[in-house]
Amino acid sequence: MSRFGKFHLLMAVVITLLSVWTLSGQHSGHQAKEPKAVTLKGEVVDLTCYLSHGSRGPAHAKCAQMCLDKGLPMGLLTHDGALYVILEDHGQPQAYQTLKGLAAKTVTVKGPVYSRNGMRGIAVQSVTK
Q: Do 3 and 50 sit in the same domain of this protein?
A: no
Q: Do 107 and 84 sit in the same domain of this protein?
A: yes
pLDDT of residue 82: 97
Q: Do 96 and 52 sit in the same domain of this protein?
A: yes
**What does the pLDDT profile of the chain (129 residues) look like in tens digits?**
655 555 545 455 445 444 444 444 444 454 568 899 999 999 999 999 999 999 999 999 999 999 999 999 999 999 999 999 999 999 999 999 999 999 999 999 999 999 999 999 999 999 999
Q: How many domains does the chain have?
A: 2
Burial tier of 1 (Cβ tally within 10 Å: 0-12, 13-18, 19+) = exposed
Q: Are 125 and 97 in contact (CB under 8 A)?
A: no
Q: Do 82 and 23 sit in the same domain of this protein?
A: no
Domain of 7, in residue numbers = 1-32
What is the rounded end-to-end Cα distance, in angstroms, of the chain?
A: 74
Q: What does pTM read for this prediction?
A: 0.75
